[in-house]
């Protein structure tokens, strides 16, 4: 009875407290007495955990407070973190806290304030944009908002570029979303719930935690959800069908409540619209160093060919407490892609002009699973732990049929047909972790991280080669032939492990010493077995080129020890020091009892140098140097012939040394957002010691046709590898962007461009036994220039004309031959509200290409257009009629240049179709539906207009 009475009393007490619905209200200001809107405010106690955002007046409100003592925490980019405990006044149900003053962060460069709201905050490594003043149409997604940000570009395939560099990863509220998959977030997240977007130069977890930057940065997009929309859910369903049997069925559901978020996405279409990019993997606690466990080439993505896709994914986040957070995602995709391509290739050879014309038809059916998770734990104010497991599985079935014709000095040499069927599976898993310990408040710190990744690829391949040969000495002689079939089984295992230690010792208020140690090891254990057969399927037992059984087991290890001095002043920030990095290449290649040892030791010394100077609060310049060793690939180092057929040979070099690449980056930024001006530029330069280069040979050899027993002289292509020690290949690239906004961003002008120069070195020969060759230096210059204009007087009208120009120049020292290709691409993109609920849009793009190889050049004119009508209650439904590629001219033309060839390619892309789409969407949030909330397009990205 006593226990029951105590329980009843506690329940009554709880109901009484709950019934009082006590509330807390406060206001945020900065140190200049200006209100701070859009800040994240958190109230925590033993009984409460709530998050709110400060409104346009800087006011925040919490209801139903249970505890008598609570803590308020305020965070906002550009300000120091604010924390303070408060006691609820006895007998009161409403507590109005005196105004809280936030102190500006000393690293902030510039803040622009319009109507009391900071619209752009420029920090040393971060550009933050608020969404408040963007002119977005109802139904816009995050990608539409990105297009309106100065210095940010989004191409027709949804790839995002910021300040001239590709955005590699996306986060929502500071955490990876679907493993950092950029398009999945930008093309699905409705813009009307986004409060801020941040473009970050991210140097990894250690820099984010300690401020110590090492290595190169990568561009990261962080999307901040408005705190008042962290309670609710949103749904989108879409279905469409069109001509050419085109179909689309998509859906999205995202639910959010305090400390939790779940997103479910699904996609089924044959309109080349993948939902996930499986080349993107989560950041984890330690950035991968290459080698084992890394995922190979992508199985999905891209726009070439025709693709049927089915995908589904789940993303989750759970804040168990202020100290413990878990988040991650699972994604699955199945695709069926058919690609038709043409290729024209000019080979660089001494005194000979050799060209290849190739057509191919390739079908790839594949499936991919990806799971990634992160657990972050803060056991105390001075300790931080992060664990990140990852798992993936890829399966691929590829069928390729190709036909080629080869000419030497304009005379027909051979024609060839090749059929390849390949099946592969590739499971992988890994885990990374880090621990940071703050030893005192003056900057003494210890940081440790580690990773382990494991992968295995099993591959079966059947290949058939049928080549018709011309007699080089008698053009009128009948054609002879070479036929062969090979069956290949390969098992490639690899793993990568590493760990690093960083210790920082403060010397003064602005200076400190940093000591680092880093270990990394890549391990490979591979085997290949191949059999050669004739047309009747009989084994050709006596040909070593078609029959082999190889095993190779080797590893590449590096140790890096360094020390440097870091200074962080008001105007100048720099880091200077040095590091030593010994590397070791160890292993053996085995074939038929023959053992070839692979043993190398190298020592690299490198400076540690980083410099940043702030000319003013609006402009700065930074310079950074980094050095990296790169081990030879399996193909480059294995000293055996592992060719699928006898006419195309690849032999590695067991004597190769690792490369060492030097990289120097310089960035300059000058902004005046208040006047609408924005300028940035960068220059990157790279130079490689011991560069691994190719020796490409093209020669005649006698081969037996196992069908007739006849010996025929046929052209052989052979590739070997060398270290370039006498010369140093290098590259330089640059980019600039200037933006000007007028009349409250009604008019926007963007001028951008850049130049890149690449010095590639290779060796070529026409002699079978020549293992040195003649040096060829291929110099390639690419010039880009673009001019874009945007007229956006309101949400109901937007017109975007523009033009881009590219010029590609290549010259080869061996042949004294130069080639040039160029391309002009004018575009016009726009949309208009015919009525408040009827929208018309169009996207026109014309290419003028010149200089490409025979049969490759094309000048497509692509016209996409749509008209859509909104209806039903609160305009939650939309019906759209869209036309894609009205003239049926879409194709892809490109040029690839290296030290031994110039290759022009043309591939098919999705052609003309018409589709009728129906979309239904719904949003519901605890604090009301956001403006335009019932009209967001959400779900899968609508077909590009």
Query: What digits encode the pLDDT tens for the residues 426-435?
Result: 999 999 999 9
Q: How sure is the predictor about 874, in pLDDT bands with cuts at 50, 70 and 90?
A: confident
Supply the pLDDT for residue 778. 93
* Cα angle 59-62-68, degrees, rounded to a multiple of 5: 125
- Which of 61-75, 348-362, 576-590, 819-833 shows the lowest mean pLDDT across its residues? 61-75
Supply the pLDDT for residue 182. 85
* pLDDT digits 0-9 by tens, 385-407: 999 999 999 999 999 999 999 99
Q: How sure is the predictor about 111, in pLDDT bands with cuts at 50, 70 and 90?
A: low
| Antiparallel, parallel or unpaired: β 23-30 and 94-96 | parallel
Percentage, residues of the chain above pLDDT 90: 51
Supply the pLDDT for residue 141. 84
| Most confident range, picked from 105-119, 583-597, 749-763 | 749-763
How many other C-beta atoms are found inside a 10 Å radius of the C-beta of residue 583?
21
Supply the pLDDT for residue 643. 85
Supply the pLDDT for residue 831. 92
Taking the C-alpha atoms of residue 889 and residue 863, their distance in angstroms, rounded to an integer, is 9
Supply the pLDDT for residue 93. 86
Mean pLDDT over 194-210 rounds to 83
One DSSP character per residue, 197-244 reads EEEEEE--HHHHHH----S--EEEEEEEEPGGGSSEEEEEEEEEEEGG
Q: Does position 108 have pLDDT exceeding 60, yes or no? A: no
Supply the pLDDT for residue 53. 80
Taking the C-alpha atoms of residue 847 and residue 156, their distance in angstroms, rounded to an integer, is 14
Q: Does position 106 have pLDDT exceeding 60, yes or no? A: no
Q: Does position 9 have pLDDT exceeding 50, yes or no? A: no
* pLDDT digits 0-9 by tens, 639-657: 888 788 899 999 999 999 9
Supply the pLDDT for residue 15. 36
Better pLDDT: 116 or 365: 365
Supply the pLDDT for residue 172. 86
**Residues 237, 295: contact at Cβ < 8 Å?**
no
Mean pLDDT over 280-293 rounds to 52
Mean pLDDT over 207-230 rounds to 80
- Which of 74-83, 239-248, 484-493 shows the lowest mean pLDDT across its residues? 74-83
Residue with tokens 């020390």: 563
Mean pLDDT over 227-238 rounds to 85
Q: Does position 827 have pLDDT exceeding 60, yes or no? A: yes
* pLDDT digits 0-9 by tens, 529-575: 999 998 888 888 778 888 889 898 989 999 999 999 999 888 899 99
- Which of 187-191, 551-555, 794-798 shows the lowest mean pLDDT across its residues? 187-191
How many other C-beta atoms are found inside a 10 Å radius of the C-beta of residue 328?
22
Q: Indicate the SS3 state at residue 54.
A: coil
Q: Does position 528 have pLDDT exceeding 50, yes or no? A: yes
Taking the C-alpha atoms of residue 56 and residue 99, their distance in angstroms, rounded to an integer, is 15
**Residues 54, 37: contact at Cβ < 8 Å?**
yes
Q: Does position 69 have pLDDT exceeding 80, yes or no? A: yes
Please state, in angstroms and as integers, the Cα–Cα distance from residue 401 to each residue in 335, 356, 357, 359, 907, following that order.
19, 16, 14, 9, 15
Supply the pLDDT for residue 928. 63
Supply the pLDDT for residue 124. 67
Please state, in angstroms and as integers, the Cα–Cα distance from residue 750 to each residue in 669, 680, 737, 745, following that order.
15, 12, 7, 12
Q: Does position 695 have pLDDT exceeding 80, yes or no? A: yes
Supply the pLDDT for residue 295. 44
* pLDDT digits 0-9 by tens, 747-760: 889 999 999 999 99
Supply the pLDDT for residue 743. 80
* pLDDT digits 0-9 by tens, 432-482: 999 999 998 888 999 999 999 999 999 999 999 999 999 877 777 888 899
Structure token digits, residue 839: 């929208």
* pLDDT digits 0-9 by tens, 291-320: 444 443 332 333 689 999 999 999 999 989
Taking the C-alpha atoms of residue 595 and residue 479, their distance in angstroms, rounded to an integer, is 42
* pLDDT digits 0-9 by tens, 883-925: 999 999 999 999 998 888 999 999 998 999 999 999 998 888 7
Dihedral, CA atoms, 901, 904, 910, 911, nearest 10 degrees?
A: -160
How many other C-beta atoms are found inside a 10 Å radius of the C-beta of residue 691?
20
Q: Does position 488 have pLDDT exceeding 90, yes or no? A: yes
Average pLDDT of every residue of the chain: 86
**Residues 629, 658: contact at Cβ < 8 Å?**
yes
Q: How sure is the predictor about 105, in pLDDT bands with cuts at 50, 70 and 90?
A: low
Better pLDDT: 194 or 117: 194
DSSP 8-state assignment for residue 285: S
Percentage, residues of the chain above pLDDT 70: 90
Listed in sequence order, the residues at least 6 apart from 4 whose beta carbon sits closer than 8 Å to its beta carbon are none
- Which of 385-389, 676-680, 698-702 shows the lowest mean pLDDT across its residues? 676-680
Phi-psi region of 484 (alpha: psi -120 to 50; beta: other; left: phi over 0): beta
Q: How sure is the predictor about 714, in pLDDT bands with cuts at 50, 70 and 90?
A: very high
Supply the pLDDT for residue 929. 66
Better pLDDT: 301 or 173: 173
Supply the pLDDT for residue 708. 84
Mean pLDDT over 627-646 rounds to 87
Q: Does position 943 have pLDDT exceeding 90, yes or no? A: no
DSSP 8-state assignment for residue 657: P
User: If we measure between CA atoms, which residue out of 396, 395, 399 comes closest to residue 361?
Assistant: 399
Better pLDDT: 745 or 241: 241
């Amino acid at each position: 009875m006593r226990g029951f009475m105590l329980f009843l009393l506690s329940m009554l007490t709880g109901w009484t407290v709950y019934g009082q619905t006590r509330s807390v209200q406060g206001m945020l200001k900065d140190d200049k007495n200006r209100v701070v809107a859009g800040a994240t405010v958190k109230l925590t106690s033993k009984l409460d955990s709530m998050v709110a955002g400060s409104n346009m007046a800087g006011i925040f409100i919490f209801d139903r407070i249970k505890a008598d003592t609570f803590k308020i925490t305020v965070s906002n980019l550009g300000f120091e973190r604010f924390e303070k405990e408060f006691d609820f006044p006895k007998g009161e149900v409403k507590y109005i806290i005196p105004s809280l003053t936030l102190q500006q962060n000393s690293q902030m460069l510039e803040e622009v304030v319009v109507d009391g709201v900071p619209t752009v905050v420029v920090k040393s490594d971060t550009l933050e944009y608020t969404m408040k003043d963007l002119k977005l149409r109802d139904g816009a997604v995050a990608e539409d908002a990105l297009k309106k940000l100065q210095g940010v570009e989004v191409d027709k395939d949804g790839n995002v570029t910021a300040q001239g560099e590709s955005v590699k990863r996306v986060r929502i509220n500071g955490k990876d979303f679907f493993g950092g998959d950029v398009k999945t977030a930008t093309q699905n997240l409705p813009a009307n719930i986004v409060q801020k977007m941040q473009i970050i130069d991210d140097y990894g977890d250690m820099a984010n935690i300690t401020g110590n930057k090492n290595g190169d940065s990568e561009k990261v997009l962080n999307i901040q959800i408005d705190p008042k929309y962290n309670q609710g859910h949103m749904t989108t369903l879409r279905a469409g069908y069109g001509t050419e049997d085109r179909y689309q069925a998509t859906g999205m559901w995202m639910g959010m409540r305090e400390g939790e978020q779940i997103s479910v996405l699904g996609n089924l279409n044959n309109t080349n619209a993948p939902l996930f990019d499986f080349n993107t993997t989560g950041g984890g606690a330690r950035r991968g160093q290459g080698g084992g466990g890394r995922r190979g080439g992508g199985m999905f993505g891209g726009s070439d060919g025709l693709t049927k896709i089915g995908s589904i994914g789940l993303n989750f986040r759970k804040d168990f407490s202020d100290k413990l957070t878990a988040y991650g995602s699972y994604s699955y995709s199945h695709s069926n892609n058919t690609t038709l391509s043409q290729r024209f290739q000019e080979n660089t050879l001494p005194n000979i002009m050799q060209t290849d014309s190739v057509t191919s038809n390739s079908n790839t059916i594949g499936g991919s699973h990806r799971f990634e998770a992160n657990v972050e734990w803060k056991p105390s104010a001075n300790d931080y732990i992060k664990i990140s497991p990852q798992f993936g599985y890829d399966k691929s079935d590829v069928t390729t049929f190709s036909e080629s014709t080869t000419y030497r000095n304009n005379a027909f040499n051979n024609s060839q047909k090749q059929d390849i069927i390949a099946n592969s599976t590739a499971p992988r898993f890994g885990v990374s972790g880090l621990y940071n310990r703050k030893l005192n408040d003056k900057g003494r710190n210890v940081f440790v991280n580690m990773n382990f990744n494991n992968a295995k690829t099993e591959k079966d391949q059947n290949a058939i080669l049928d080549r018709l040969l011309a007699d080089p000495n008698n053009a009128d002689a009948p054609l002879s032939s070479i036929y062969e079939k090979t069956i290949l089984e390969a098992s490639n295992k690899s793993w990568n492990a590493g760990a690093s230690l960083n210790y920082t010792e403060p010397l003064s208020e602005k200076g400190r010493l940093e000591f680092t140690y880093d270990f990394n090891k890549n391990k490979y254990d591979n085997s290949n077995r191949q059999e050669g057969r004739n047309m009747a399927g009989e084994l050709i037992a006596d040909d070593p080129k078609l029959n082999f059984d190889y095993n190779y087991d080797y590893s590449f290890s590096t140790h890096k020890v360094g020390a440097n001095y870091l200074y962080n002043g008001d105007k100048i920030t720099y880091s200077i020091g040095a590091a030593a990095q010994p590397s070791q290449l160890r292993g053996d290649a085995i074939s038929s009892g023959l053992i070839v040892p692979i043993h190398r030791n190298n020592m690299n010394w490198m400076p540690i140098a980083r410099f940043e100077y702030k000319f003013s609060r609006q402009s700065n310049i930074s310079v950074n140097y980094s050095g990296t060793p790169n081990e030879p690939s399996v193909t480059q180092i294995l000293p055996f012939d592992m060719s699928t057929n006898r006419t195309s040979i690849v032999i590695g070099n067991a004597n190769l040394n690792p490369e060492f690449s030097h990289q120097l980056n310089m960035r300059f930024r000058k902004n005046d957002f208040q006047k609408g001006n924005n300028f940035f530029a960068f220059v990157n330069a790279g130079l490689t010691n011991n560069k691994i280069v190719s020796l490409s040979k093209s020669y005649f050899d006698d081969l037996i046709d196992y069908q007739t027993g006849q010996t025929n002289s046929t052209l052989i292509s052979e590739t070997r590898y060398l270290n370039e020690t006498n010369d140093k290949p290098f590259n330089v690239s640059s980019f600039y962007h200037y933006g000007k906004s007028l009349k409250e961003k009604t008019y926007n002008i963007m001028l951008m461009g850049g130049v890149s120069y690449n010095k590639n070195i290779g060796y070529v020969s026409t002699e079978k036994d020549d293992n040195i060759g003649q040096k060829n230096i291929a110099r390639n210059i690419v010039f880009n220039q673009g001019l874009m204009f945007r007229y956006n007087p309101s949400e109901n009208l937007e017109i975007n004309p523009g033009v881009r120009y590219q010029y590609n120049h290549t010259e080869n020292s061996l042949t004294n031959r130069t080639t040039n290709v160029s391309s002009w691409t004018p575009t016009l993109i726009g949309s208009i509200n015919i009525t408040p609920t009827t929208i018309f849009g169009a996207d026109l793009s014309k290419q003028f290409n010149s200089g490409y190889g025979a049969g490759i050049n094309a000048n497509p004119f692509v016209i996409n257009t749509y008209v859509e009508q909104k209806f039903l209650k609160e305009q939650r439904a939309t019906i759209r009629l869209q036309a894609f590629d009205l003239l049926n001219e879409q194709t892809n033309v490109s040029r690839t240049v290296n030290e031994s060839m110039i290759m022009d390619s043309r591939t098919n892309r999705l052609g003309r179709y018409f589709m009728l789409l129906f979309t239904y969407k719904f949003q519901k949030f605890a604090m009301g539906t956001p403006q335009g909330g019932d009209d967001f397009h959400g779900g899968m990205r609508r077909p590009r207009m």
